[in-house]
């Protein structure tokens, strides 16, 4: 498992893993030829080696730095046209690489783009696992083991990542993952406050404290608004502002018809938006299906659990109590996988033109499914079990029929009378502790420890198998036997990396988003929640780094200027939190896990609704204020960006020979009136002389409309005369002070 | 009043009205000279004529079309740099005017910009009524009387304006007013539906119909979202997309210090955002003051009114009943003017850098003041009077003390006992009818008829005065006496126009916004409201046209890409409408103006809150859906814009010698393996030969890291060899089908 550090990658830019199809060798060979030729055509050098038993590894390197510089230059022009870059790249492609050196991630991104973008746009058009390229199993860069090892040790030593570390991550694996780390880092740092405050509340105020709820809600708002701003600042820092506007066509997009654009004359694949909208309406039944399918399973398991743990008192109780958990563990992932598959199909059916729109649509569906699987149980406890348990629990008797056989006597099974039954006051808190602590530990184990164990196991199993095969027949030669000795170690490592799964940053973001949901929706139940998450997130970041660098293939770098649609999810959860927190505080504060006066049915609906109403609208108002305040604060990065933009504009205006301060010179006076003394010589102009002037002209010329205009403008031949006439007119005025006094 | 139509404007572009100060003639003269010289310096020709007794009219024309073309060219470059124009203007300023002729509004805008923009940016820097230019009373273009007359007659004949009419408005008075007309037009057309539906509801379902409330809420959402889209389409049509991003500096902005920008080296006037934020916090006490001052006055008048009309039964009732109305009519405008002045001062104090930000801040304050003055009374009736009248009215007794003297006997004055008092069920409806009909008529009269009457009156008064003066002394010469006869008529008209007030599109928009508020918040009270507004708005549009063309000076054209912050107000009102409508329907449906079962105190708070909660969240959900749906629909304008953008991008990529389909040619094969037959010649390559190849090279060269890399990439000398080796490797594979079968 990459425990050895191999310092060299033999200058390999990318590796393509080509799996020979088992059934059609001829087709496999044809396609392989096409692959090699395609790569050669766009100027990439290739070397081929054996992968595992039935696959080949094609090593790719940018052969000609000039061709590669062209690719980079073209991409920069495109960036500039989309407003990602301020300055138009200089016209000399040769200077592209020297004037602005590429980071590793950028180099990888360009090579990946060359390999994968369509042939019409100058790429090899290889789409891994899709249509004619379904034999291409993976296209991936190689890990930098030295750097990876350094990261792991460095991050483990630090509490907080520095901006430099984030830059380093971005330079190595691209902005998309960089944004995830930046988010996790911001979230973690911000968590200090609720962790400390939550701990104090836990000590001083206990659970369900309204003060905690208010502070927590405020924190959620401030964090989200702060992060939005942080996103923008990072976009400036990483030069990715507006990259989300560069819309890469989805290869899977199926146009209904190809029309010719009347303006550009270009062939355009067209799919009517109305038709897509109709297809999107299918999301409503899908959401309903999610609610019904998942909701039903969770509700049933929940009911069984309550029945067994709190009503049932028959034999095998100690075993039966695990039944609902087992059912849940089996059913929920199955159903949710099934639904996710369904959602994926629907998203494909919706047929988006761009990858971005596709991902966005998919994420919103995934969020709905995750929302239901994550929060239904605790919603049930809060808003169904606690207020209505005494009414509903007796009905759980219907299960009694099935358990009847095991029950020793009627008494054991009989549901308690409503008066006798008392709700379990600690259930809600225990559930929250489970989500805040146990679930996080389990999750970490599943996500980070499990893959290691599985991979080690598989490796061991293969080794044993091949050893046994050697013993029995000795005829199965290892593919590594043909490796040149100096490449042996390297190729072994590449084979291992090729076998690793892809790193999916979306699922990590989803996890954080769900965690934020627990915090905003339910943490008022147990104020230690943020403390637990604070600790968890420290480990999470290191675990994710381990996953990214050791357990997964190196990801293809992608650009991003935001964490994308997850931001909307966070906003939604914070909003919903303002509702649930208020309801929980109203319902449970005072007692511990019980209604205001100890009995849940003493909850007054109007008071509950009023607290929710007030809380929600206060939340919205505060959010507006915080948003306005934060948006108005200036930052160094933003100032810098503005200055740069200004520079660009000034440059253009100056290039156009029209700097902003350029002005025509004052026209020279045509009359000798300019001198100070001369100016007053004509100040004594009289009413008569003015009138005569006018009459002179009105008589001498003809009176057509055109010449009237001409005459209008020729009365005062230049600005000096205009000034003179104006002054004469002023002299004729009856200005209160001077003349008025004279007359008197 | 411009009843004569004068076909010529003597090619005058702009008129500057210069008022001589009464107290300081010298300063007036100096400034006048500065004005004339300033205009001449930037290339404008001037002619001066007498205005009224103490003012001069300076007629301005772009003297040199070349200089003017330069100005236009510079503005276009600026537009292009801000992304308003797609295409970079060609480098030849001389072609600017011929290649793309200007509309009248554009010409006016450029001339106005020349006159008013700061000297550093190449303008004359004249700021009417401000600092050193406080003598400059107005800077305005002249009306086109022929076109104005045509508009008035044409609009009166039409029910709906065509897009062509809107274009015409935009071409004549600029985009800002164009947007107002477009909004009014969309609003009017959209109103057909609620008018028809409201009428049916009124006939079939009566007041407070839940169905009407739902349809009305939905209509509000759809209208706002439709308008937002319409705004974007108009921005494309009128080429003003993103103009709001061109931030013109506010001349009144006062910087705290002037810093030198480290990037540009430019001097930058700096005012810290934090300080502004602190100043903005003063908005909170201002808002509180508005609520208290206006709210108190309205509440007191309201209480007096109820007391007099419904409790008091003493003498002079028929007169006293008008007392609250008189109080309200006197107090509210006074207070609200005072508050507006206060808001203006605060907005100046907030010291915004751009005019846009300043206007935005002012409008939000004006909205708060208007919201309170417009809706408080009806809010009081709905949510205080009706539910609590029986409890509160007895307390109105305190007024009894003051009226005591007039009361004839105790009985007349005694407040009725709570049981005896019954609320007036028609009060709310009558109030709504007042706002829907009476207030609109009064408003129209105040806005359109009053100015005509006042202006006519003033004119008459002046005429009578001068006639009387002639009779008595005969020495007061009219300023018009010196006019050349052929200009007499023209100058009379210009003097009239100079005396007219400015047209303020903001107040017209505000009026529509307030009307929309009544519709969304309270129209469920009386479903004929939209019918009344429908009729009103037809008249409103014509009235506004009359105001624009006859009663006001021709406005300085301004660009805009939206109706601005009013859109936010509309959204807020629609949202609030979802709350008030639900509450009103719950409280009043069933009875007519009474609670669900006839008695208002039978209103259940929980049910009220629940209906509000459900209604509000349904509204938000529906809004999200409508917004998503509308944003996804494509339009011809948007497609056109995309195509144009695409063209621009392609042009650049092609200019850069890298059209998107350019690709390096396939590298020629270095070996003779290319032919079909040749390709298979080497297919029989054996494991041995491959290994030998590798060993050869590993032995022959030294084993430093660099040369290892070299060797790695030299094993296959070109793509053809790479392909050959790959095929050989495939042959060695144990592919299930072929070989597997062979082995068996």
Summarised one tens digit per residue, pLDDT across range B293-350 is 888 888 888 888 888 877 777 777 778 878 888 888 888 888 888 999 999 999 999 8
- Residue A581's pLDDT band, with cuts at 50, 70 and 90, is very high
Task: Give the pLDDT confidence of B390-441 residue by residue, as tens digits.
Answer: 777 777 666 554 444 444 444 444 444 444 556 676 788 888 888 888 888 8
Q: Once rounded to an integer, what is the mean pLDDT over residues A390-400?
A: 67
Q: Once rounded to an integer, what is the mean pLDDT over residues A387-396?
A: 74
Q: How far is B478 from chain A (nearest CA, A)?
A: 11
pLDDT of residue A624: 92
- Residue A616's pLDDT band, with cuts at 50, 70 and 90, is very high
Residue B657 reports pLDDT greater than 80: no
pLDDT of residue A459: 82
Task: Give the pLDDT confidence of A328-339 residue by residue, as tens digits.
Answer: 888 888 888 899
Asked if the C-beta of A65 comes within 8 angstroms of chain B's C-beta atoms, the answer is: no
Q: State the best of B719, B727, B728, B740 to mutate against chain A, taking most chain A CBs within 10 Å.
A: B719
Q: How far is A90 from chain B (nearest CA, A)?
A: 10
pLDDT of residue A249: 79
Contact flag B632-A711 (C-beta cutoff 8 Å): no
Residue A708 reports pLDDT greater than 90: no
The C-alpha atoms of residue B680 and residue B171 are separated, in whole angstroms, by: 74
Q: How far is A188 from chain B (nearest CA, A)?
A: 27
A365 or B408: which carries more pLDDT confidence?
A365
The C-alpha atoms of residue B569 and residue B575 are separated, in whole angstroms, by: 10
Contact flag A276-B23 (C-beta cutoff 8 Å): no
Contacts (Cβ under 8 Å, ≥6 apart) of B54: A733, A734, A735, B19, B20, B22
Task: Give the pLDDT confidence of A100-136 residue by residue, as tens digits.
Answer: 888 899 999 999 998 988 887 778 888 888 888 888 9
pLDDT of residue A628: 87
Q: What is the mean pLDDT of chain A?
A: 81
Cβ-based burial of A199 (10 A; exposed 0-12, middle 13-18, buried ≥19): middle
Give contacts of B29 with chain A, Cβ < 8 Å.
727, 730
Asked if the C-beta of B633 comes within 8 angstroms of chain A's C-beta atoms, the answer is: yes
Q: With helix as H, strand as E and coil as C, how does B490-527 read?
A: HHHHHHHHHHCCCCCHHHHHHHHHHHHHHHHHHHHHCC
Asked if the C-beta of A161 comes within 8 angstroms of chain B's C-beta atoms, the answer is: no
Helix (H) or strand (E) segment spanning residue A100:
none
Q: Once rounded to an integer, what is the mean pLDDT over residues A523-538?
A: 92
Helix (H) or strand (E) segment spanning residue B670:
none
Alpha helix (H) residue ranges in A238-354: 273-280, 283-306, 317-320, 323-350
Q: What is the mean pLDDT of chain B?
A: 81
Nearest chain B residue (CA) to A702: B486
Tell me, what's the ipTM?
Answer: 0.84
pLDDT of residue A421: 58
3-state secondary structure of B52: coil
The residues in A 79-98 lying below 8 A from B, measured between CB atoms, are 81, 83, 91, 93
| A177 backbone dihedrals φ, ψ, rounded to 5° | -70, -35
Closest CA to B549 of B252, B143, B260: B143
Give contacts of A485 with chain B, Cβ < 8 Å.
698
Question: β-strands B267-270, B257-260: how paired?
Answer: antiparallel
For chain A, percent of residues with pLDDT exceeding 70: 83
Task: Say how many CB pairs under 8 Å bridge A and B.
Answer: 325
pLDDT of residue A475: 53
Residue B448 reports pLDDT greater than 70: yes
Residue A352 near residue A249 (C-beta atoms within 8 A) = no
The C-alpha atoms of residue A46 and residue B716 are separated, in whole angstroms, by: 8
The residues in A 593-612 lying below 8 A from B, measured between CB atoms, are 604-606, 609-610, 612
The strand pairing partners of B16, in sequence order, are: B58, B139
| B37 backbone dihedrals φ, ψ, rounded to 5° | -65, -40
Residue A667 reports pLDDT greater than 90: no
The C-alpha atoms of residue A89 and residue A93 are separated, in whole angstroms, by: 9
DSSP per-residue codes, A158-184:
-SS--HHHHHHHHHHH-HHHHHHHHHH
Return the structure tokens found at B373: 């003055």
Neighbours of A123 (CB within 10 A): 18
Give contacts of A733 with chain B, Cβ < 8 Å.
20, 53-54
Asked if the C-beta of B686 comes within 8 angstroms of chain A's C-beta atoms, the answer is: no
Residue B39 near residue B164 (C-beta atoms within 8 A) = no
Asked if the C-beta of B719 comes within 8 angstroms of chain A's C-beta atoms, the answer is: yes
Contact flag A120-B486 (C-beta cutoff 8 Å): no
Closest CA to A493 of A227, A216, A143: A143
Contact flag A78-B609 (C-beta cutoff 8 Å): no
The C-alpha atoms of residue B230 and residue B236 are separated, in whole angstroms, by: 10
Give contacts of A33 with chain B, Cβ < 8 Å.
723, 727
Asked if the C-beta of A579 comes within 8 angstroms of chain B's C-beta atoms, the answer is: no
Asked if the C-beta of B674 comes within 8 angstroms of chain A's C-beta atoms, the answer is: no
Contact flag B667-A40 (C-beta cutoff 8 Å): yes
| Inter-CA distances, B419 with A612, B415, B416, B600, B671, Å | 34, 11, 8, 13, 110
Q: How far is B726 from chain A (nearest CA, A)?
A: 6
Neighbours of A279 (CB within 10 A): 14
pLDDT of residue B538: 92
Asked if the C-beta of A101 comes within 8 angstroms of chain B's C-beta atoms, the answer is: no
The strand pairing partners of B354, in sequence order, are: B249
Task: Give the pLDDT confidence of A205-236 residue by residue, as tens digits.
Answer: 888 888 999 999 999 999 999 999 999 999 99
Q: Which of A25, A629, A725 sits opposite B735 (nearest CB)?
A: A25
Contact flag A81-B667 (C-beta cutoff 8 Å): no
Contact flag B47-A663 (C-beta cutoff 8 Å): no
Residue A37 near residue A153 (C-beta atoms within 8 A) = no
Q: Once rounded to an integer, what is the mean pLDDT over residues A444-473?
A: 81
Q: Which of A36, A93, A650 sits opposite B726 (nearest CB)?
A: A36
Residue whose entry in the numeric block shows the structure tokens 């004594």:
A684
A505 or A694: which carries more pLDDT confidence?
A505
A279 or A681: which carries more pLDDT confidence?
A279
Contacts (Cβ under 8 Å, ≥6 apart) of B334: none
Contact flag B661-A120 (C-beta cutoff 8 Å): yes
Nearest chain B residue (CA) to A114: B663
Contact flag B8-A50 (C-beta cutoff 8 Å): no
């Amino acid at each position: 498992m990459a425990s050895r550090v191999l310092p060299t990658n033999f200058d390999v830019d990318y590796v393509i893993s080509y799996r020979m199809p088992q059934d059609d060798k001829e087709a496999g060979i044809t396609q392989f030829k096409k692959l090699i030729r395609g790569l050669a055509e766009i100027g990439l050098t290739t070397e081929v080696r054996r992968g595992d038993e039935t696959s080949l590894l094609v090593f790719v390197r940018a052969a000609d730095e000039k061709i590669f510089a062209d690719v980079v230059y073209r991409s920069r022009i495109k960036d500039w046209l989309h407003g990602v870059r301020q300055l138009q790249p200089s016209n000399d492609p040769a200077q592209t690489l020297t004037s602005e050196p590429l980071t590793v991630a950028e180099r990888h991104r360009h090579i990946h783009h060359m390999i994968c973008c369509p042939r019409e746009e100058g790429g090899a058009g290889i789409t891994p696992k899709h249509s004619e390229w379904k034999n291409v199993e993976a296209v991936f860069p190689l890990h930098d083991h030295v750097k990876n090892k350094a990261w792991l040790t460095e991050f483990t030593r630090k509490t907080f990542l520095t901006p430099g570390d984030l830059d380093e991550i971005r330079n190595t694996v691209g902005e998309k993952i960089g944004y995830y780390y930046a988010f996790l880092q911001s979230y973690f740092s911000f968590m200090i406050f609720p962790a400390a405050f939550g701990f104090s509340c836990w000590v001083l105020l206990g659970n369900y404290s309204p003060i905690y709820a208010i502070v927590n809600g405020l924190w959620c708002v401030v964090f989200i608004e702060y992060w939005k701003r942080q996103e923008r600042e990072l976009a400036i820092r990483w030069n990715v502002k507006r990259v989300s506007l560069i819309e890469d066509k989805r290869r899977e997009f199926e146009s209904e018809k190809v029309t010719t654009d009347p303006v550009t004359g270009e062939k355009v694949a067209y799919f009517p938006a109305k038709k897509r909208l109709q297809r999107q309406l299918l999301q409503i039944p899908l959401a309903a299906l999610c609610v019904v399918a998942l909701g039903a399973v969770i509700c049933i398991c929940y009911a069984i659990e309550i029945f067994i743990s709190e009503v049932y008192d028959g034999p095998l109780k100690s075993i039966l109590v695990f039944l609902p958990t087992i059912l849940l563990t089996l059913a929920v992932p199955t159903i949710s996988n099934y639904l996710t598959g369904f959602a994926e199909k629907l998203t494909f059916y919706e047929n988006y033109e761009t990858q971005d729109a596709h991902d966005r649509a998919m994420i919103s569906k995934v969020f709905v499914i995750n929302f239901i699987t994550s929060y239904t149980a605790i919603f049930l406890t809060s808003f169904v079990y606690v207020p209505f348990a005494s009414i509903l629990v007796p009905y759980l008797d219907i299960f009694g029929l099935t358990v009847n056989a095991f029950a020793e006597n009627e008494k054991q099974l009989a549901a308690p009378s409503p008066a006798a039954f008392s709700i379990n006051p600690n259930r809600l808190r225990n559930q929250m502790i489970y989500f805040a602590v146990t679930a996080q530990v389990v999750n970490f184990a599943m996500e980070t420890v499990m893959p290691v164990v599985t991979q080690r196991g598989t490796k061991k199993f293969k080794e044993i198998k091949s050893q046994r095969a050697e013993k029995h027949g000795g005829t199965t030669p290892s593919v590594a036997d043909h490796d040149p000795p100096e490449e042996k170690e390297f190729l072994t490592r590449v084979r291992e990396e090729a076998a690793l799964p892809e790193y999916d940053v979306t699922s990590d973001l989803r996890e954080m988003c769900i965690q934020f949901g627990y915090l905003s929706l339910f943490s008022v139940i147990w104020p230690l929640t943020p403390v637990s998450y604070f600790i968890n997130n420290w480990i999470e970041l290191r675990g994710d780094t381990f996953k990214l660098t050791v357990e997964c293939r190196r990801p293809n770098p992608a650009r991003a200027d935001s964490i994308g649609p997850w931001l909307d999810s966070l906003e939604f959860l914070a909003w919903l939190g303002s509702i649930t927190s208020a309801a929980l505080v109203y319902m449970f504060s005072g007692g511990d896990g019980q209604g205001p006066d100890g009995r849940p049915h003493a909850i007054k609906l109007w008071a509950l609704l009023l607290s929710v109403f007030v809380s929600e609208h206060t939340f919205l108002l505060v959010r507006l204020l915080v948003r306005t305040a934060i948006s108005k604060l200036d930052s160094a990065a933003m100032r810098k960006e503005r200055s740069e933009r200004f520079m660009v504009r000034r440059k253009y205006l100056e290039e156009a020979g029209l700097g902003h301060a350029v002005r025509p010179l004052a026209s020279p006076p045509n009359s000798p009136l300019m001198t100070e003394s001369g100016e007053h010589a004509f100040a004594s102009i009289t009413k008569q002389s003015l009138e005569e002037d006018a009459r002179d002209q009105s008589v001498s010329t003809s009176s057509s409309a055109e010449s009237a205009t001409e005459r209008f403008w020729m009365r005062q031949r230049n600005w000096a005369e205009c000034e003179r006439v104006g002054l004469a007119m002023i002299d004729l005025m009856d200005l209160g002070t001077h003349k008025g006094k004279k007359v008197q």
